[in-house]
Structure 1
Amino acid sequence: MKPRIAVLGCGYWGSNHIRTLKSLGALSAVSDANRPRAEGFAIEQGCRAIDPDNLFDDPDIDALVIALPPQFHAELAIRAVRAGKDVLVEKPIALTVKDAERAVNAAREAGRVFMVGHVLRFHPAFEKLKQLIDEGELGEVKYIHSHRLGLGKFHTESDALWDLAPHDLSMILAITGEAPVEVRGEGAALLDNLSDFAHVHMRFANGVRSHLFTSRLNPYRERRLTVVGNKAMAVFDDAEPWERKLAVYRHAVWRDSGQWAFTAEEPTYVAVQEAMPLTRELQHYIDCINTRAEPRTNGAEAIEVLRILTEGTVKHERPAGDSSTPGVARAG
C-alpha cells in the first residue's frame, strides 16, 4: 500500500514534492501557513489542504515531507516524529548541529523513518559514478572537486554555501565513506553580509583531498563533480545532456628519465538511465516507509554535512566599505 504523505511547505521546492508525490500516487494532503496557497495546490492536485497546526495529529497522514526555511525544520521534524509520522526533511535539516542531533535522536527514539533531501544522491549519473568507483574503475580515489555555480537564487537567510553546498557535500561523503578530519573555508560577500561565493577544502583520514566551490553570482551555470583516481578520472556534469552527463577520462601520468610524462585521452561517455532524481528520491522514501529500512540519505549523514558547514574555519571577506557583521557560513 502507498503511505499517505503530506507536504508541509508549498513554496518552490515544496511544489516539486507535491507534484512528484501525486505522480507516485502517495500525495494525501498539502499544508502551508498561507492557507490560500495550500488550497490552490489541493484543488490542482485533488487532495486535502490541512492547516499546519492540525497536520501532526491527523490520523489519516502517515508521513510528512517538510520543505520550509531551515530555521523551522528541526522543531517541526521533532513534533512530527513524536506524533508518529515518518519524515523527509529538506536540506539543510537545521542551522546548528545541536538542533539536527535533537531531531535525529527524536526520530530514533520514536522509531520513525528520518530521511534528508540530498536529492543528487539519487541522480542516475551519480549512482553510476559511485558504482564505477566501488568496482575499482578509477583505481584509488585521490581527489574530489565540485563546482556548483550560477546566477541566483538570492535568499535572505542562507548564503551560497548553505544553499548550494549540501548536495555536493553529500556526494563527497558518499564517495569517501567517512567524515573529513580537516575543513577550511573561505567566503566572499558582494551584495550584503551573506556570501555570494564560497570555497571549502577538506582532508580525509584515508588520504583523499577535496574542495568545493559554490557561487550564486556567476555569469554562467556549472554543475560539475570531478573524481580523480590513480587509474582514471570521471566527471559528472549535470549541465550536459543525458548522453554526456558522465564521462571517464583514462589519462596516464608517469615518470620518464626523471621527468613527468602524460597522455591525454578523449573521454568515454558512460550510458546512464534517464530519470528524475526527485522521483527516485521520493520512491526511495516510500520504500523506506513500507519496509522500515534505513534511508540512503539518513540523519547521520545530514549531521555530518551540517558539521562541515558550521564547524569549519571560515574566513569571511566583506565588500569594500561594508561595515555589516559577516555571516558567511555560520562558522568560527
Structure 2
Amino acid sequence: MLRFAAIGIDHGHIFNHIDGLLDAGAEFVGYCPESSVPALVDTVRKQHPGVPEVSRDQLLADKGIDVVCIAAVPRDRAGLAITAMKAGKDVIVDKPGVTTFAQLDQVKRTVMETGRMFSVCFSERLCVPSAVKAGKLVAEGAIGRVVQTIGMGPHRLSAASRPSWFFDLDAFGGIIVDIASHQIDQFLFYTGSNSGEVVASSVGNFGTPQSPDFQDFGEVLLRSEQGSGYIRVDWFTPAGLPTWGDGRLTILGTDGYIELRKYIDIGGRDGKDHLFLVDGSGVRHIDCSSEPLDYFTSFVADVRERTQTAMTQHHVFEVCRLSLEAQQQATHIGGRKSA
C-alpha cells in the first residue's frame, strides 16, 4: 500500500490531497504540525486522530513514505518539494507549485536528477466533478474541435481570516501565479495544447488599498496552435453570494459549447457542478455532482508503475512557465502599482 505524509499545512487545499489519496487506497502515516494557520492543523487532528504528528525531518527521512503532500506558504513549496524528491519521495504540491523562474529551474533539475514526480494538484479541474465530466465530453468530440476557453476564477477575500503572508507579494507570487494557474492548466488541457504563449496580461489593486502590494484583479490572454484562452481572476466575490466564488468555464468548440458553473448556479438550481451542453441537438443541463474524480487514483498508479497518466510532467512545467511569464509581463492597471 502506498504511504503518504503531509507537510506545509498552510492552505486548506491540503485536505484535497489527503482525502483524495485516502479514497485512492493510500495510507496516511504522518503530518508535520508546523504551520502559519494553526486552525488547519487542528482540523487535521480532529479528522485523523490516529495519524501521528511528526517533524518534517523525520517524515522526509522515513524511507517507508512514498509520497509527500505540500500546501505550504507558496514561496516555500518548491523548496520543500525539492528536499522531498531528493529524499526519494514523489510529491503532490498545491498550486502554485513555484513562484519564481529560479524555483522552476531548480525543480526541473531535481526531477531529472532524481526521477521523482512533481505533480501540482490544480484543484479547480482535478477536484471538480463538472470539470472532469467536461474533459470526457471534449475527448468524445461532443463539441467538435475546441477553439477557445474562457475561465473565470472569482474568490472571496475574507481578509480578517487570512494569514499575514497572504498579502505579501513575494510570498504568494502574484494573483496570476497564485490563482490563474488553475485556468492556464484548463486552457492547455481542454484545447489539447502541449505549449502556449502569453499574448497579454494585467494585474491591479482596485479595492485593497490597505495592502498596496496585494493584487485583487488579474487577466490573461493566451494562444497556442490549437486555440486561444481568456482568463479573469479576482478577489471581489460579494458577501451576498452563498459560496466563496462563482467559478465558471466556457469551452467553445466548432460544433457546440460547454459552460460549467462549478460551485453555484445563480440561475437557481440547487447544488454544485452544473454543466450546460449546447450542440446541434439543443441545450442540456447535466448534474455532474456524482462524477468520479480520477486524478488521485491515477497518481497512485503512476507512483507504482512510474507512468504519467494523471498528469504529464511536461504539462506541469508548462503551466508553471506560462503562469510566471504572464505574471512577470503583466501591465499594472487601476490603483497603486505593486512593487
Same fold (TM over 0.5): yes
The aligned counterpart of 1:31 is: 32
Aligned with 1:119 (options 116, 123, 137): 123
The aligned counterpart of 1:10 is: 9
SS in structure 2 of the partner of residue 225 of structure 1: strand
Is 2:216 the partner of 1:204?
A: no
Is 2:63 the partner of 1:64?
A: no
Larger relative strand fraction: 1
Per-residue deviation, 1:163:
2.8
- What is the one-letter code of the residue matched to 2:306? R
Deviations 1:82-115 (A, max 9, x none): 1111111111111123312321331232122221
Per-residue deviation, 1:66:
1.1
Is 2:176 the partner of 1:161?
A: yes
Contact conserved, 2:120 with 2:316, CA < 8 A, in 1? yes
Contact conserved, 1:199 with 1:213, CA < 8 A, in 2? yes
Max radius of gyration: which structure? 1
**CA, structure 1 residues 135+57, in 2 after alignment: closer, same or farther (shift >3 Å)?**
same
Alignment of 1:1-332 (within 5 A): 2-11=1-10, 12-22=12-22, 24-34=25-35, 41-42=44-45, 44-45=47-48, 46-122=50-126, 123-152=128-157, 155-156=166-167, 157-158=171-172, 159-178=174-193, 179-190=195-206, 191=208, 192-206=212-226, 208-219=227-238, 220=241, 221-238=245-262, 239-240=264-265, 241=270, 245-250=274-279, 267-270=283-286, 272=288, 274-275=290-291, 277=293, 280-312=294-326, 313-319=329-335, 322=336, 326-327=338-339
Per-residue deviation, 1:284:
2.8
Deviations 1:205-242 (A, max 9, x none): 23x22101111123253211101122111112102456
Task: Count the aligned residue pairs.
Answer: 306
Give the RMSD, CA atoms, in angstroms.
2.8
SS in structure 1 of the partner of residue 9 of structure 2: coil
Contact conserved, 1:146 with 1:213, CA < 8 A, in 2? yes
Question: TM-score, normalization: structure 1?
Answer: 0.81
2-structure distance, mates of 1:301, 1:148: 20
Per-residue deviation, 1:50:
1.0
Question: TM-score, normalization: structure 2?
Answer: 0.80
Gaps of 5+ in 1: 252-264, 328-332
Is the deviation greater in 116-125 or in 164-173? Answer: 116-125
SS in structure 2 of the partner of residue 165 of structure 1: helix
Gaps of 5+ in 2: 160-165
2-structure distance, mates of 1:181, 1:90: 23
2-structure distance, mates of 1:230, 1:61: 47
Runs of 4+ in 1 over 3 A off after TM superposition: 15-25, 34-44, 240-244, 270-273
